[in-house]
Amino acid sequence: MIGVTTGIDMLRIERLTKLDSTIKARFMVRVFTARELAECAGRDSSLAGHFAAKEAAAKAFGCGIGAIGWQDVEILTGVQGNPVLYLHGNAAAYARQSGWFSWSVSITHTAEFASATVTALFDQN
């Protein structure tokens, strides 16, 4: 039987915009991979969307960030401009252990907020 799990998160973009530059620099390299940082090119709305997607993935796992690391969840742009979720390290191991075999991510923005949803299919056997 196939199961479905979903995680959702929303972030006020201003939280990134108003961070002290020293704190923000440390935060960025701790949370985002080099490829994510390159793709987002310093755009706080994009970074907020990626952050929300990472949180949504952790919620879909049911474990939150901590059991999996920030950089274990990577959000990159697909061929058609869509966000694509890549799992590394503990997140990839957790996905295998949980029977995840397919997943998708959706990110949206307004002027104030970034929101993301991650949905995964898993084998319940």
Between CA 75 and CA 70 the distance in angstroms is 11
**Structure token pair of residue 84:** 């694509």
How far, CA to CA in Å, does 64 sit from each of 55, 68, 77, 88, 114?
7, 7, 23, 15, 19
Asked about 109 being catalytic, the answer comes back as yes
Asked about 24 being catalytic, the answer comes back as no
Candidates 24, 54, 88, 109; catalytic one? 109
Candidates 18, 24, 54, 59; catalytic one? 59
List, by residue number, the catalytic residues: 59, 109
